[in-house]
Structure 1
Amino acid sequence: MSSPNIHVGIMSADKIDFKLHGEYQLLGTKHTFSGNESVSYENGTLQLANAKICDDKLYFVPLDKGNSEFELKDVTIGVNFHWEQKEDQKFQGALKFIIEEGQITAVNILSIEDYLISVISSEMSAKSSLDLLKAHAIISRSWLIAQIEKQDKLTDAGESYESTFKTDEEYIKWYDREDHTNFHVCADDHCQRYQGTTRSHNPNVVKAVNETAGVVLAYNGVICDARFSKCCGGIAELFENCWEPVNHPYLTAVIDNPVPPKGFETDLTMEENAVPWLKNAPEAFCNTDDEEVLKQVLNEYDWTAKDFYRWTAEYKQDELSALILKRSGYDFGKILDMIPIERGASGRLIKLKIVGSKKTLTVGKELEIRRWLSESHLYSSAFLVEKEDVVDGVPGKIILHGGGWGHGVGLCQIGAAVMGHNGYKYDEILNHYFKNIDLEKRY
C-alpha cells in the first residue's frame, strides 16, 4: 500500500493571489497555467483573473510533480494566537479552490508522508534530535489517520457532532476538528501546523519521516488519537478533559519525570494538591531553560513565550471585565471572583465559575476558559486565582499563577525534546507519553 493522500485546508479569503512555479493543468480542461494568478469569488462562482474561466471549484495538478510547487500569498498563521501573522507560503502537490460560506478556500492535496515532512518542520525548529523527530512523525501520522477514520465514520453514520452545551448555569464548549467537512485537516494550530515548504526541510526531518514511513501508534489494534502540546507543565492531561467525553486508555496522567517529584502530591484534581504544584516548579523533563534544547522545539515566533513552565498573567478590574465581555459575549459586570470548579489530572481547569456583579456562569472546557481570559489564548487553563486590592468585595486586580503551555494531552514537545537530548530513543519517548501502545507499520 502506498502513502494515502491528504486534503489540507490552507486559507480562506474573498480573493486569493497565488503563483504556480512550474506548469499546472486545470482539471476538466485542456488549459495549463504557470506564473502569477488570482482567484476571486463573484456571483456565486470562482473567477480566475487572467483567464475567462469560472466554476464552483478549480483544481490545479502539477505536470511535473517533483519540480513544481505553488505559492499562496498572505496566509495567516497562528490564527487567534499571540504570534498571529501573515506570510507567503509554498507547497508541493495539487491545489484546489472551493467555495465555503461565501469565501474561497485553498486546499492542498499531497501524500501523507510529504505532509508530515512539513508538519514536523512547522511544529518544531527541525533542529531536534533524530529520535524526537521520529517520535513526532509517528504521533502526527497516527493522529492524522485517526482523524480521517473518525471523519469517515461520522459521515457514514450521518451523525451530527455536538461540542457546545449551554444552560443558565453553564457554558461548556470544546474545539476539535470535526467542523472540517470539505477537507481532512486545516493548516493551523487548530489541527497541526502545516506551512508547506516555507519552513526549511532539515535532512533529519526527511530521514525521520522516511525511516518511520507508515508506522503508527496502535492500542488493541486501533490507531491511536495521538495528541501533543508544547508543555504539559509536569503532568499530562486526560483526553476527555479537553475534548469529547471519551476515555482513551493510552492517554493518561503521565508524570513527566523519571520518578514523582519529592514533596508533592500528584493528584491535581484536588485543589489542595494543585495549589503547591502550581505555586512551585517541580522537577520535570519539560521544566527546562536550556536554550539549546528549546531551540529544537520552538520556532522564532514561539520565542515570545519564554516562561512556559510557570507563568503569571495580571489583569486590572476594568481590563478583565471588558476582556471577558468581548471574548464571551456575556456581560458579567465587575468580576468579583473566579472559582475553580473542576480540575483535570494536570491541574488544568475543566470548569471555572466566573462570579460577576451582573451575572454568574461556569465556563469550560479548557480551551474555552483560555479564550475568555486572553485576547488570543491563555497559555493553559492550569492556574490559581489571586485577588488583590479588594474594596467592597470588588478586586482591583486579579492575578493568575499558571503552568504549562497548551492542552497538555499526550506528548509534551518540550519534555520530549529534553528526553531526546538526554539520549532516550524514539520508542522510549513514545512509551513514556502513551501507555500500553504498539508500533505498527500500516503501509
Structure 2
Amino acid sequence: MKEPQVTVGIMSERQIRFVFNGTYLANGVPVSGEHEAHTDGKQIFWNGNRYTRIVFTPEKEDYSFCLKEVTIGVKFHWERKEDQTFKGNLNLIVENGLITTINALSVEDYLLSVISSEMSATASLELLKSHAVISRSWLLAQIRKNKELAGKKPDSLIRTDKELIHWYDREDHINFDVCADDHCQRYQGITRACTEVVAQAIQATHGEVLTYDDEICDARFSKCCGGVVEEFSSCWENINPPYLTALRDDKNEKDFPDLKNEDIARQWIYTSPTAFCNTTDKKILSQVLNNYDQETTDFYRWSVVYSQSELAHLIHKKSGIDFGEIIDLKPIERGTSGRLVRLQIQGSKQTLIIGKELEIRRVLSPSHLYSSAFVVEREDIQNGIPQRFVIHGAGWGHGVGLCQIGAAVMGEHGYPYREILLHYFVGANIEKLY
C-alpha cells in the first residue's frame, strides 16, 4: 500500500491572513509573501479576483505557509489564538458562509505535527511510538469511515419530551478528512518543535497500525481516564468495539469496580485509587501536557463550585432551555469508568435528561467540564432550592482507549510501546500497513 494523503481543516473565518515562506503556485501563477482573502459567503475574494476554490502548491517540498490567528482549544478552557506554520498544500474553500483553510499533506508528515501537538516533543521514545501508532490508526480508520459514509452523517441527536441525547464525532466533517483541533487530533503544523526523538518515533513505527479482525482500529485516546477506561458507546454510537473495553489503568487491568453502580461510583470518585494515570510527577506530566495544558493542575480528581444563580444561568445559556432554578442534577446512567452517560436536570420550570458524556460536560461548564465522571453535592438548601452545588469529578476527557498520562507513566517505568498499546487496546494486533 502506498502512503496515503490526508486533508486537514485548520480554521474557518470570514477573513484570513496568510504568509508564504517561499514560492507557491496558484493556478500556475507564482505567489509569495503576505496575503489576505475574504468572502461574501459565496465566493472568495483574493488578489483582485473571485474564486469558489483556490489551491496553493509549494514549488519546493520544504517551503511552508503561515496562517495568522488560528484558534486552538475551540470552546475548551484553554482556547486562544496563535500563528501557525504548515508544510504541504493550502486549499481555500467556502463552507457555511466562511473561508475554510485546508492543509493537504502525507500521513507521515501529518503525524510529525500531531505527536508534537498532542504532547511534548520531549516525551519518552516509547510513549511517542505508542502515540504514533494510535494516531496513524485513528486517522486511517477515520478516512475509511468517511468514505463509507459518503457524506451521510449518522443520526447523533435524539430529542423527546423527556430526553436530549446528543453525541459528537468526526463525521461532522464533509469537505476534509479531519480538523486540526481537539475535536479530532491536535494538529498545529510545524509550529510545535519537532525534535529528533519525535522523528525517530515516527520512523520506527512507519506504516504501523492497530488492527482487530483485519480492520484498522478506531484508536481513541484522552488525557486521563481517572483510573478505569470507558467504553465507546458511552460517548458515541451505540456500538462497543471489543478492543475498546473497560479495564483498570494499572498492572491488574481486570481488577476494577462496577462503576455503573451509583454507590460504588460515588465512593470511587471521592477517593484516589492507584492507577498509572494517578501521578503528580511533573517530569512525566510535562511529557504529555503542552504549556497551555499544564495550566490544568488537578485532573485525576477535581472539583468545581457553582452558586444557584451561576448554575441556572450557565445551563440556560449552554442548553438554550430555561429550567428555572436548579433543584438537582441526578445521575441516571453511568459508563464503565463512572462517567455519566445520562444526567437528569431537575428545575423549578422543567425536567430533562441530557447525554451523552460530551453534551453533559458542555452544558455544565463555560467551556467543558474535565469529564462527566462526577458526583454532585447540594448545599444550603432553602425552601427545597440548593443555593450551592459542588461537583467532584475524576479524569480529563472521554476516557476511551489510550490514557495519555497513564501511557506516559508506563513509558517512564520501562514498558515498550507494544505493551503500552496492548494494555489499552485489548486483543488488538500491531501490523505494518505500508
- The equivalences for 1:225-236 within 5 A come to 225-236=218-229
Separation in 2, partners of 1:53, 1:118: 33
Which string of whole-angstrom CA distances, capped at 9 and with x for unpartnered residues, describes residues 70-127 of structure 1? 0000000000001000000000000000000111000000000000110010000111
Separation in 2, partners of 1:56, 1:358: 48
Separation in 1, partners of 2:153, 2:264: 39
Q: Which moved more, 1:76-85 or 1:253-262?
A: 253-262
Structure 2 equivalent of residue 296 of structure 1: 287
Classify the secondary structure of the residue corresponding to 1:258: coil
Separation in 2, partners of 1:212, 1:323: 45
Equivalent AA in structure 1 for residue 9 of structure 2: G
Structure 2 equivalent of residue 189 of structure 1: 182
Separation in 2, partners of 1:414, 1:52: 50
Q: How many residues align?
A: 434
Separation in 1, partners of 2:258, 2:379: 28
Classify the secondary structure of the residue corresponding to 2:170: coil
Q: Say whether residues 1:4 and 2:4 are aligned partners.
A: yes
Deviation of 1:2 after TM superposition, in Å, equals: 3.0
Separation in 2, partners of 1:131, 1:221: 25
Structure 1 equivalent of residue 426 of structure 2: 435
Structure 1 equivalent of residue 101 of structure 2: 106
Structure 1 equivalent of residue 312 of structure 2: 321
Structure 1 equivalent of residue 120 of structure 2: 125
Structure 1 equivalent of residue 80 of structure 2: 85
Q: Structure 2 unaligned runs (5+)?
A: none
Contact 1:261–1:283 (CA under 8 A) maintained in structure 2: no
Structure 2 equivalent of residue 346 of structure 1: 337
Q: Which moved more, 1:357-366 or 1:35-44?
A: 35-44
Q: Say whether residues 1:62 and 2:69 are aligned partners.
A: no
Picking from 30, 36, 48, the partner of 1:38 is 36
Picking from 166, 172, 175, the partner of 2:168 is 175
- Quickly say closer, same or farther: Cα 1:220–1:332, change in 2 above 3 A: same
Separation in 2, partners of 1:170, 1:412: 30
Contact 1:312–1:399 (CA under 8 A) maintained in structure 2: yes
Which string of whole-angstrom CA distances, capped at 9 and with x for unpartnered residues, describes residues 134-154 of structure 1? 000000000000111111001
Separation in 2, partners of 1:46, 1:259: 57
Separation in 2, partners of 1:130, 1:101: 41
Spell out structure 1 runs of 4+ moving beyond 4 A: none
Which string of whole-angstrom CA distances, capped at 9 and with x for unpartnered residues, describes residues 170-227 of structure 1? 0000010111000000000000000000000011111101111110000010000000
- Quickly say closer, same or farther: Cα 1:260–1:195, change in 2 above 3 A: closer
- Quickly say closer, same or farther: Cα 1:35–1:385, change in 2 above 3 A: same
Structure 1 equivalent of residue 243 of structure 2: 250
Classify the secondary structure of the residue corresponding to 1:144: helix
Contact 2:41–2:94 (CA under 8 A) maintained in structure 1: no
Q: Structure 1-normalised TM-score?
A: 0.96
Deviation of 1:250 after TM superposition, in Å, equals: 0.2
Separation in 1, partners of 2:337, 2:40: 49
Classify the secondary structure of the residue corresponding to 2:376: strand
- Quickly say closer, same or farther: Cα 1:278–1:75, change in 2 above 3 A: same
Picking from 142, 148, 151, the partner of 2:146 is 151
Contact 1:261–1:282 (CA under 8 A) maintained in structure 2: no
Contact 2:247–2:254 (CA under 8 A) maintained in structure 1: no
Contact 1:58–1:98 (CA under 8 A) maintained in structure 2: yes
- The equivalences for 1:415-430 within 5 A come to 415-430=406-421
Structure 2 equivalent of residue 22 of structure 1: 22
Classify the secondary structure of the residue corresponding to 1:65: coil
Equivalent AA in structure 1 for residue 327 of structure 2: L
Picking from 267, 274, 292, the partner of 1:276 is 267
Structure 2 equivalent of residue 218 of structure 1: 211
Contact 1:349–1:366 (CA under 8 A) maintained in structure 2: yes
Contact 1:237–1:407 (CA under 8 A) maintained in structure 2: yes
Deviation of 1:42 after TM superposition, in Å, equals: 3.5
Equivalent AA in structure 2 for residue 276 of structure 1: Q
Separation in 2, partners of 1:206, 1:3: 17
Classify the secondary structure of the residue corresponding to 2:171: coil
Picking from 369, 375, 379, the partner of 1:384 is 375
Separation in 1, partners of 2:41, 2:11: 21
Q: Which moved more, 1:72-81 or 1:206-215?
A: 206-215
Equivalent AA in structure 2 for residue 208 of structure 1: A
Contact 2:41–2:96 (CA under 8 A) maintained in structure 1: no
Classify the secondary structure of the residue corresponding to 2:368: coil
The CA RMSD over aligned residues, in Å, is 1.2
Equivalent AA in structure 2 for residue 40 of structure 1: H
Picking from 192, 195, 202, the partner of 1:202 is 195
Classify the secondary structure of the residue corresponding to 2:265: helix
* Percentage of pairs with the same residue: 56
Equivalent AA in structure 2 for residue 154 of structure 1: L
Separation in 2, partners of 1:435, 1:42: 50
Equivalent AA in structure 2 for residue 257 of structure 1: D
Deviation of 1:260 after TM superposition, in Å, equals: 6.3
Contact 2:247–2:253 (CA under 8 A) maintained in structure 1: no
Classify the secondary structure of the residue corresponding to 1:358: coil
